[in-house]
Amino acid sequence: MLISGPVKILKIDGVSSQDSLLLIYYPKIEKVKNDSGLVGASLKVISSLRQELINLFSKTLPTPASSLLMGIIFGIKEQMPKDFSDNLKTTGVFHVIAASGMNVTLVGGFISAFFAFFLKRQIAIILSIIGIIFYAVLAGLEASIIRASIMGVLVFSSQIMGRQSLAVNGLALAGFAMLFIDPSLIFDIGFQLSFAATLGLVYIRPLFERRQRTDSRIDILEKKKPNMFTVGIGGDISTTISAQIITMPILLANFGTYSIYSILVNGIVLWTVPILMIVGGVGAILGLILEPLGKLLIYLCYPLLLYFESVVRFFGTMGGIIAIQSLSFEFIAGYYCLLASVLILFRKK
């Protein structure tokens, strides 16, 4: 790995010049040893594709609309201006720009539906599995997208074998596999949040639904499909609350703040996300082939992006942040014991 870029020496009072801090501007990170063979070649293709996509979006839409759309569709965050990403964090909707379960569902579903027209179903499913892996690499291989991809691949593979897949088993397998390869991931906040939030969706969210389905036998990917007309804002709010109940201690322990408007903000913006993913995603693919057509579809996203952006900016300036100095270990342990007991109690009924 070669990291190059202009370096500035930070002068700090009381620190001798030998021990000074170096700050690197615009670091350029390159892989020195080039992987030859299929993996290396495809990585190269994917990284140049990523750059093409960034160019297409930033040339079409103003900032931050373009970076918001890139974040939602591909989890690309490096183009996000700091002021806007701060607003996303303070309003509690930063998670929309992390590629995760919904992206995988749409990518897989889209590819399998498209190829099912002229190929055998099994082959279409295999192609969609390849598509999911391709997408995960394109999205930058963060913990959340790896987790979602493993679960997604399991769901699609189980379709080939005619087996049912349980969300919680998929989640456990994904967690085990990821920790087996890199045990230090357990300290990764993204990893913790992604797994906790998915657990919340599997176990807590069903409690909000009037007609309780069997038990945890709910396909998590199925659950997160874009049912904006049937479930709508109410569904988004119960999803948000389910995820927040379980991730709250992680968020508070790491960031020390909670936005009182986050449930409201999530409730009024999340419905735009699947639409933006589909329209923008198709626009991105078409844009790589026929730029004007792709641009038109990306422009179609603009009204929703403007809405999203205005809501986030409005609530970002409202404040409403609760700050907590420190969270003791005993409190967190007690919180999760309490949560687990409540969940077990409700499941027995």
CB of 140 to another protein, least distance (A): 19
CB of 229 to another protein, least distance (A): 7
Q: Are 72 and 280 in contact (CB under 8 A)?
A: yes
Name which of 296 and 343 has its Cβ closer to another protein. 296
Cα 85 → chain centroid: 14
Which residues within the stretch 77-116 sit at the binding site for another protein (CB under 8 A)?
A: 81-84, 109-110, 112-113
Name which of 64 and 249 has its Cβ closer to another protein. 64
User: Per CB under 8 A, which region of 2-10, 161-169, 261-269, 336-344 contacts another protein?
Assistant: 2-10
Alpha-carbon Rg for the chain in angstroms: 21
Which residues within the stretch 173-212 sit at the binding site for another protein (CB under 8 A)?
A: none
User: Per CB under 8 A, which region of 43-51, 90-98, 253-261, 275-283 contacts another protein?
Assistant: 275-283
Q: Tokens standing for 70?
A: 């890139």
**Counting every residue, how long is the chain?**
349
Q: Which of 53, 56, 61, 153 binds another protein (CB under 8 A)?
A: 61
Binding mask 282-311 vs another protein (x if CB under 8 A, - otherwise)?
-----------------xxxxxx-x-----
CB of 8 to another protein, least distance (A): 6
Give DSSP secondary structure letters for 42-107: HHHHHHHHHHHHHHHHHHHS-TTHHHHHHHHHH---TTS-HHHHHHHHHTT-GGGGS--HHHHHHH
Q: Which of 7, 160, 288, 340 binds another protein (CB under 8 A)?
A: 7
CB under 8 Å to 187, separation ≥6 — which residues?
none
**Beta strands of the chain (E only): which ranges?**
2-4, 7-10, 21-24, 28-30, 257-259, 321-323
Binding status of residue 26 toward another protein by CB under 8 A: yes
CB of 215 to another protein, least distance (A): 22
Name which of 128 and 244 has its Cβ closer to another protein. 128
CB under 8 Å to 339, separation ≥6 — which residues?
245, 246
Q: How many angstroms separate the first and last alpha carbons of the chain?
A: 55
The per-residue b/e assignment along 268-306, b for 16 or more CB within 10 angstroms, e otherwise, is bbbbbbbebbbbbbbbbebbeeeeeebbebbeebbebbe
- Please report, as ranges, the residues that interact with another protein according to CB under 8 A: 6-8, 25-26, 58-66, 81-84, 109-110, 112-113, 222, 225-226, 228-229, 275, 278-279, 299-304, 306
